[in-house]
Amino acid sequence: MIPPRRRPQAPLLAAIILAFGCVDAYGLLTLRRALAREFHHEEIGVSVTDGLALTVTFVNQLPADAPCDTLTAFALRVASFVSRTYPGFDTLQVVSVAFAHRGPDDSGRPTSAHLPFRFSRDALRSGELAAESAGAEALCALDVPEPPMDAGRDTSTAVPP
C-alpha cells in the first residue's frame, strides 16, 4: 500500500496568508497612530476595502455644520498625509476621508454628515489635486443636508385622502 501523500503546502500557504494579513493590519494600526499624532485626535477609523480603497474616518473632529471648503481642505491634508505615511499606498487606487458625528449620549455607531471625500492615488502622487479638490468641494455642497422643517407647520407634499 502506498502511504498517502502529505501536503506540506497547506500549512505553509495558511502561514503566508496570515502573515500578509498581519502585515496589512500592522500597517493600518501604524497609520492610525500616525494620524492621531498628526491631527491631535483619537477617534479615527482606518480601513482598506479590497486592497484598493483606504478610508480614514474622523469622528467628531470638525463641527457637523463646517463649511465645505474647510472639510475639503482638511480631507486633502489627511489624504496627502496618508500618501506619505502608509506603506501600502502604492497598491491603492483611492484614499477616502469621511467625517462622522456621534452625540454625547450616543454610544452607537457614528453617523456621517457627508459623502466621503475621495482622492485618487495618481493625483496624490503627482500633487495635481486642484481638479479633485474642486470636485470634492462641489460634491460636498450638493450633499449638504436640508434644513429642518418647521415644527409648527405641516410642510409635507402628500395629498390628503
**Model confidence over 20-44: pLDDT tens digits?**
454 478 889 999 999 999 999 888 9
> How, if at all, do strands 53-59 and 94-101 pair?
parallel
Whether residue 32 is contained in a domain is answered as: no
Work out the pLDDT band at 85, boundaries 50, 70, 90.
very high
* Biggest CA-to-CA distance, the chain: 88
Q: How far is CA 64 from the centre of its chain?
A: 17
Q: Is residue 68 part of a domain?
A: yes
Domain containing 76 equals: 38-103+110-142
The answer to whether residues 94 and 82 touch, using CB atoms and an 8 Å cutoff, is no
Interacting residues of 138 by C-beta distance below 8 A, sequence separation 6+: none
Instruction: Compute the average pLDDT of residues 93-109.
Output: 80
Q: Is residue 9 part of a domain?
A: no
How many structural domains compose the chain?
Answer: 1
Please report the pLDDT score of residue 9 as a whole number: 58
Question: Is 160 within a domain?
Answer: no
94-to-8, 9, 21, 50 alpha-carbon distances in Å: 38, 34, 20, 11
pLDDT over threshold 80, residue 152? no
Amino acid at 75: A
Q: Does residue 48 belong to any structural domain of this protein?
A: yes
Cα separation, 44 vs 151, whole angstroms? 35
Residue 49: inside a domain, yes or no?
A: yes
Question: Per-residue confidence at 151, pLDDT binned at 50, 70, 90?
Answer: very low
Any domain includes 2: no
Q: How many residues does the chain have?
A: 161
pLDDT of residue 51: 86
